[in-house]
Amino acid sequence: MKNTKDLTQLNRRSFLQVSALAGGGMMIGLYAPKAIAQGGRGGAAPAATPSTYITINPDNTFTIIAKNPETGQGIRNALPQIIADELDVDWSQVKIQQADLDAKYGSQIEGGSTAIPSNYNTMRQVGAGGRALMLAAAAENWGVPVTELTTASGVVTHAGSRRTATYGSLAAKAATMPVPTNIALKDPKDFKIIGKPLPGVDNLKIVTGQPAFSVDVNPPGMLHAVYEQCPVFGGRPVSANLDEIKKLPGVKHAFIVDRVQIQGGQGQGLVPGVAIVADNWWLASNARKSLKVQWEEGATATQNSPGYATAANAMKAQASQPPAAGGRGSAVLGNVEEAFQGAAKVVEAEYYFPLIAHAPLEPQNSTAHFKDGKLEIWSPSQIPGLAGPAQAAGVQNTDVTMHLVRAGGGFGRRLASEYDYQAAKIARVVADERAAQGLPSVPVKVLWSREDDLAHDNYRPGGFHYFKAGLDASGKMIAFRDFVASVASVSPTGEFPSGFVPNFQVTSAPVNPFSIPTGALRAPSTNGVSFVMQGFIDEVAVASGKDPLQFRIDTLRNPNPPAAPPAGAAPGAAGARGGGGGGGGFNAARAIGVLEAVREMSNWNTARAALPKGTGMGVAFQFAHAGYVAYVVEAAVDSNKKIKINKAWCAVDIGSQIVNTSMAKNLVEGGFIEGMSHVMGWEITIDKGRVQQTNFTNANAALGYPPTRMNQAPPSVEVKFVLTNNNPTGLGEPSLPPAVPAITNAIFAATGVRIRTLPLVKSGYSWT
Amino acid sequence: MPNYRLTVNGRQQTVDVPAEMPLLWVLRDTLNLKGTKFGCGVGACGACTVHINNEPRRACQTQVSTVNQAVTTIEGLSTDGSHPLQKAWMQVDVPQCGYCQAGQLMTAAALLRRTPRPSDADINSAMSGNVCRCGTYLRIREAIHLAAGNGARRA
């Protein structure tokens, strides 16, 4: 690597930290800079302790720390890839080591597609700093200027004197040297590792069945726990037949756990329940079949899904009322009601999407060991934190050691960590009970069943949307209105077409009571909002007589920015912002860019006319979590409402650089497949305050929770990355939302039937 | 508790467990073979797929007392990733979270034994009992074709 650009803003010695290793190696770390110490949710405040990111071993191999939790999004590859490229070593020389949870690493969160945007530059600087040290050591050893040196594959070369030295051989020297002042970053065209489709670092473990996941954690002597929670949200156990349970085969402990409100935790805290601890999980689970609990169910037991729908429907007359001043979740521009009066055409529609569960394939679990007043815990959390386990076990944060273990899927479910709290509490009680019997403490794993997982989630909130739009005689949209009867719903106050229509109003009012716990699911909030907004916009486009793709572009080309930020909008928001967090400012040119790209990929302009009867193409785009994604879907629908996805095309703009092209494409393919689950089968319904769905399948189909399967998946999802001169951002979230309306809009194109309610299985549809 | 003799990945073992204990939990908790995964407990997701006498079976639905033929788990497919399907899985970079992949591989291995050169329809038919929540189905299809010598057929 020769061509370099000085892009660095490193504060030299206060930033990089270097120390020698016995045997000639060295470690390179850094003081958590502001750039990565932005969160704090994942740990405590950053401390002034250097974090080691690179260990240079004497044998010229390089151990690189992966600091963030891995739940399948590929970050265990991505962040080390960035370091390794700037360090200028070969990927084959790199060993990846997962970091424990430690404040010195700054934010360690898997969520919001934040890992790349918040770490990209810092990881580059860490790697480049390591390389600069090697150059400095070689220059001093050989008495030549650094500018005459080059690096590649972990070797420094002085071409003039034909001398070479491995980083490993330079490490002892480099560890004694001041950190160089001019640390240059690579020109991206010289990247060898960033931007390559490098396979997952855990792939060998995964395909050979070696322990890799949280559920595989197996410290010596471990016991296994099940945890029964009240089926009604907010309920608690009053008593249980614990003495009977304790006599069952293999059962070692059985006890009631009271509610613990967690300060600084997430989700619902430690929900009360009954723990059964046994020699193995099946024995604990088998004993649970005999468990009889007297529950205090609480007020939520009167709530049910039809009740929410009835209440929402009774509120829709509020749609034409202006929002209360400063009301939450409301935005207003111009005067929609006046504009409707003068419109050549109005379009009205009611949309609904349901509560859904995350259902990662690895059921919730955590393993904890309470010993000598300290807690050791192995967590699959996306948002690992010490506070919850510490409070549940009754110790200080500083008494907790937390290991981050690969999780079998996250999708936002593991942004609540109650399994960690449960494991900590159960391990503490087990340790105390064993101590009373003179027995040493043992680790305990708590593992939920699939039924537990569906019944005790923080669900993606549903939404009841009542839309109206007005068009002028030329077919231009002049007014757009949405009213949200909210069941913890998101009001799309800043979503497109906000900022692109002169009269715009979004208001909301709560359905009361609604007491179901809700939380973030992949791409909050656009995972549901994209369906309704991009679905209704499609209706408006059809009413205008225009090509739905061109209608979106035409609208995006005619901004109507509000003179002042609308009520409820983020300060400084200009036009649509959307994105549900981490979005930043909406850039219409980037949205147009992905629409243009997907139009070309799919031959949108010519292919549609050639489609047979019953086959159609639909389009949708979404700005989410700083990314711009547009899909076109071709779907065929037969007379029995059987749907086949023939093909999908996807254009993505997440900035100037894709860190790992294989994983990025995988996330798009997976986002589309997940979108198919949202479209067809996924709905959580409530009856008597409890969830009705039990498992992926149920003899009564309405009680199943069917995910997309192989035979339903299209032959291909064609992906194009539109590279733009913007900072690289994440893709886990944005790849999902517009898949849903692109499919439902394709169904409309195929059949003329507009899809306004999900999931489709309730309307008699199925995949072929 | 009674004793049961099992042959797992070519090795004879005796386990002292209840008759109705599912093979899944005998493998995971008694024999410490963690590769076979728990996903649903009702035979609906395929994460626990093993071979019994070379046929794919749901270990969560198989009581240990009924197992009287050789069991192969993901750990027995190969220990070094040298099975053609394992190699293809790594080459295509199939996994996202990876949790379902042991079950996917075991189902695919049984498919290739029966149908060495499967079509897309053969693959869809054989594999549709295995859920991948991350949605890696397109790559699984490609990897099976690759292992079968059909070549990579991705768009």
Task: Decide if B80 and A406 are in contact by the 8 Å CB cutoff.
Answer: no
Between A421 and B2, residue with greater pLDDT: A421
pLDDT tens figures, A231-285:
999 999 999 999 999 999 999 999 999 999 898 877 789 999 999 999 999 999 9
Where helices occur in A624-738 by DSSP H, the ranges are 661-680
Select the residue of A411, A450, A711 nearest B41 (Cβ to Cβ).
A450
Euclidean distance between CA atoms A187 and A646, whole angstroms: 41
The pLDDT value recorded for residue A112 is 83
Region A279-296: what's the mean pLDDT? 98
Lowest model confidence (mean pLDDT) among A15-29, A251-265, A298-312, A390-404:
A15-29
B38 — pLDDT class (breaks 50, 70, 90):
very high
Please report the domains of chain A, with CATH numbers, ordered by start residue. Answer: 4-201 (3.30.365.10), 214-298+364-447 (3.30.365.10), 307-356+459-767 (3.30.365.10)
Chain B environment of A364 (Cβ under 8 Å): none
Task: Decide if B98 and A410 are in contact by the 8 Å CB cutoff.
Answer: no
pLDDT tens figures, A601-652:
999 999 999 999 999 999 999 999 999 999 999 999 999 999 999 999 999 9
What rounded mean pLDDT belongs to chain B?
96
Task: Decide if A72 and B139 are in contact by the 8 Å CB cutoff.
Answer: no
Find the helix or strand (DSSP H, E) in which A435 lies: helix A418-436
Select the residue of A215, A280, A695 nearest B40 (Cβ to Cβ).
A695
What ipTM was predicted for this assembly? 0.98
Please report the domains of chain B, with CATH numbers, ordered by start residue. Answer: 3-77 (3.10.20.30), 84-147 (1.10.150.120)
DSSP bridge partners of A149? A158
Task: Decide if B35 and A204 are in contact by the 8 Å CB cutoff.
Answer: no
A12 — pLDDT class (breaks 50, 70, 90):
very low
Task: Decide if A450 and B39 are in contact by the 8 Å CB cutoff.
Answer: yes
A567 — pLDDT class (breaks 50, 70, 90):
very low
The pLDDT value recorded for residue A322 is 83
The pLDDT value recorded for residue A239 is 98
Listing DSSP states for A735-756 in one string gives TSTTHHHHHHHHHHHHHS----
Chain B closest CA to A755's CA: distance in Å? 23
In the predicted model, is pLDDT for residue A4 greater than 80? no
Find the helix or strand (DSSP H, E) in which A308 lies: helix A305-315
Helix axes A526-544, A548-556, angle to 10 degrees: 100
Number of Cα atoms under 13 Å in the Cβ half of residue A80: 31
The pLDDT value recorded for residue A7 is 33
Identity at A70, one-letter amino acid code: E
Euclidean distance between CA atoms A494 and A577, whole angstroms: 5
Chain B environment of A406 (Cβ under 8 Å): 97-98
Chain B closest CA to A6's CA: distance in Å? 35
Region A330-344: what's the mean pLDDT? 93
Region A496-525: what's the mean pLDDT? 95
What rounded mean pLDDT belongs to chain A?
91
Region A467-473: what's the mean pLDDT? 98
| Percentage of residues of chain A with pLDDT beyond 90 | 83
Chain B environment of A663 (Cβ under 8 Å): 93, 96
Chain A closest CA to B145's CA: distance in Å? 13
Taking CA A361 as the corner, what is the angle to CA A359 and CA A364, rounded to the nearest 5 degrees? 75
DSSP state of A632: E
User: Per this entry, what is the length of chain B?
Assistant: 155
The alpha carbon torsion through A278, B106, A662, A3 (nearest 10 deg) reads 80
Chain B environment of A73 (Cβ under 8 Å): 96
E-assigned strand segments in A605-752:
615-624, 627-637, 642-653, 686-687, 690-691, 717-721
Where helices occur in A212-268 by DSSP H, the ranges are 242-246
Between A446 and A35, residue with greater pLDDT: A446
The pLDDT value recorded for residue A327 is 60
In the predicted model, is pLDDT for residue A337 greater than 70? yes
Residues ≥6 apart with Cβ < 8 Å to A326: A567, A568
Helix, strand, coil: what percent of chain B each, to 5?
A: 40, 15, 45
